[in-house]
Amino acid sequence: MTLKTVHTPLLSVDGLCTTFGSGDVSIPAVRDVGFSVSKGEILGLVGESGSGKSVTLRSILGLSRRYGDTTGSVLWKGENLVSKNEADMRRIRGGEIAMIFQEPMTSLNPLLTVGVQIDETLKSHTGLTATERKARAIEMLDLVGIPAARSRLGEYPHQFSGGMRQRVMIAIALAARPKLLLADEPTTALDVTIQAQILDLILSLAQDFDMGVILVTHDLGVVAQTCDQVAVMYAGRIVEQGAVREVLRTPQHPYTVGLMRSVPENVPPRTPLYSIPGTPPSLLSLPAGCAFAPRCPQRTDLCAQSRPLLATETGQRAVACFNQVKNRGGAAA
CB atoms within 10 A of CB 50: 18
pLDDT value, residue 326: 76
C-alpha 148/C-alpha 153 separation (Å) is: 9
The region that residue 327 occupies, defined by phi over 0 for left and psi between -120 and 50 for alpha, beta otherwise, is: left
pLDDT at 313: 61
The whole-angstrom separation of Cα 192 and Cα 87 is: 40
DSSP line for 163-225: HHHHHHHHHHHHTT--SEEEEESTTTT--HHHHHHHHHHHHHHHHHHT-EEEEE-S-HHHHHH
Burial classification of residue 66, based on how many CB atoms lie within 10 Å of its CB (0-12 exposed, 13-18 middle, 19 or more buried): exposed
- pLDDT tens per residue across span 103-121: 777 889 999 999 999 999 9
Instruction: Give residue 98's pLDDT.
Output: 94
Distance CA 319, CA 13 (A): 17
Indicate the angle between helix axes 114-125 and 130-143, nearest 10 degrees. Answer: 120
DSSP 300: -
Average pLDDT score, the chain: 89
b (16+ CB within 10 A) / e for 5-32: beeebbbbbbebbbbbeeeeeeebbbbb
Amino acid at 260: M
Could you read off the pLDDT of 44-88 as tens digits, one per residue?
Answer: 999 998 899 999 999 999 999 888 899 999 999 889 999 999 999
The DSSP-derived string for 234-251 is ETTEEEEEEEHHHHHHS-
pLDDT at 333: 38
In tens digits, the chain (333 residues) has pLDDT values of 444 444 578 999 999 999 998 777 889 999 999 999 999 999 999 999 889 999 999 999 999 988 889 999 999 988 999 999 999 999 999 999 999 988 777 889 999 999 999 999 999 999 999 999 999 999 999 988 899 999 999 999 999 988 889 889 989 998 999 999 999 988 776 777 777 888 888 888 888 888 999 999 988 888 998 999 999 999 999 999 999 999 999 999 999 999 999 888 888 888 888 889 999 999 888 998 999 999 999 999 999 999 999 977 655 789 999 998 875 444 433
CA-nearest of 7, 91, 72 to 33 is 72
User: What is the reported pLDDT for 180?
Assistant: 96
